[in-house]
Amino acid sequence: MLWIYNIGIVLYGLLLKVAAIFNPKAKLFVNGRKKIFDTIEQRLKDNVGSVWFHFASLGEFEQGRPVLEQLKAINPDQKIVVTFFSPSGYEIRKNYALADVFYLPLDTPKNAKKFITIVKPKLAIFTKYEFWYHYFKVLNDQHIPLYLISGIFRPSQIFFKSYGSFYREILKFVTHFFVQNEESVMLLKDIGINEVTLSGDTRFDRVYENAQTPKRLIEIEKFCGDFNVFVAGSTWPEDENRLDSIIKKYPDWKFIIAPHEIGTSHIEQIEKLFPTAIKYSEFNSQLANGSSKDDIAPSAKILIIDNIGMLSSLYQYGKIAYIGGGFGVGIHNTLEAAAFGLPVIFGPKYDKFQEAKDLISINAAKSISNAEELLDAFEFFKSNEAAAASAKNYVLTKKGATGMIVEMIVKR
């Protein structure tokens, strides 16, 4: 099975090089790894030992960030190395102040050995998922502790199938698992993995901290004024096509749409759907040039966020949130909105997300399949203070995973 895995990694790299010719994200992926070891060696030339955090993308970074920052607070002189698999994480956090940030080279035996030799990790921490055979094996062979935090497992995953022995072997390289729910504990124990702690999800700590000290966005405050605001975050075209029903029916509300992808073609597509909308960049420019927010009507009923990095702070201005992705591979982060006391609405593909199920069970969230159901959910939440309180309290009662994880790692 290992030979199939190795061939798959090589083919994946070749396909990305082809895709890079016409796909901007693939181009970033490929170009970011050119001469990657020269870059790492140069920046870590005085490194005598680091803590290595790996994240698939931006969402996993925010999930693992509380653990990283708490470990750094305990030992401010500790070198931290962060790697990303995806450009969407690296490009946004490449200048993160607390760590040296790199792309992770593809998982080949040669790359894994060279990377571990340069980085010299005292321990490695992976968040939620991404299981790389050669990196895990080299860490195991060199007796370097490897922790998986905020892990979550489901019976449908290949680890738990009769033909999943190779992937179970990868899991057994992990020193200790910190998982989100009891089901994950039992699934791992059923395949002979007992180094497992039910710690919960570190995202609760991150979103709670963010809600306590949110970044103030003056231009957004001017846009919102005294209106009730509906925030649609991390949206895709399938989500945006369904928003029209509530925007037309509730002209006394304001709407902020923060799409997951902010490429020119997608932004233009949203503008065609909502001709009276104004982009954040234009709104901000008009304000900077001396225009009053009242002079920008009627466009200022719908604001399109055409940059990255604002969403986690936008929710403080909302009353209801819609979370995108539920008509694709799965919903994005519902907890950022819930932490501010916003009930959340999302599409039908949420089964992989425990928090979404929990929020539905306490009437702080609703899943919808069409525009009519979206309208019904909006009307249910628009004056439902109990739902808002339930969402906020849910986050409050679930925080604390970070402290448990850090304490156990430091003691080991």
pLDDT level of residue 308 (50, 70, 90 thresholds)? confident
Q: In this model, does residue 296 exceed pLDDT 80?
A: no
Query: Is 299 or 339 the better-scoring residue by pLDDT?
Result: 339
Q: What is the mean pLDDT of residues 355-366?
A: 96
Question: Are the C-beta atoms of 230 and 258 separated by less than 8 Å?
Answer: no
pLDDT level of residue 292 (50, 70, 90 thresholds)? low
pLDDT per residue as tens digits for the range 191-213: 999 999 999 999 999 999 999 99
pLDDT per residue as tens digits for the range 133-191: 999 999 999 999 999 999 999 999 999 999 999 999 999 999 999 999 999 999 999 99
DSSP 341: T
Rounded to whole angstroms, the Cα distance separating 18 from 37 reads 22
Q: In this model, does residue 298 exceed pLDDT 50?
A: no
Rounded to whole angstroms, the Cα distance separating 293 from 219 reads 9
User: Phi and psi at residue 86, in whole multiples of 5°?
Assistant: -100, 145
Domains contained in the chain, CATH given: 2-200 (3.40.50.11720), 214-397 (3.40.50.2000)
How does 181-217 read in b/e, with b if 16+ C-beta sit within 10 Å?
Answer: beebbebbeeeebeebbebbbbbbbbbbbbbeebeeb
pLDDT of residue 289: 73
Q: What is the mean pLDDT of residues 367-375?
A: 96
DSSP 214: P
Task: Kindly give the interhelix angle for 109-119 and 133-141, rounded to the nearest 10 degrees.
Answer: 50
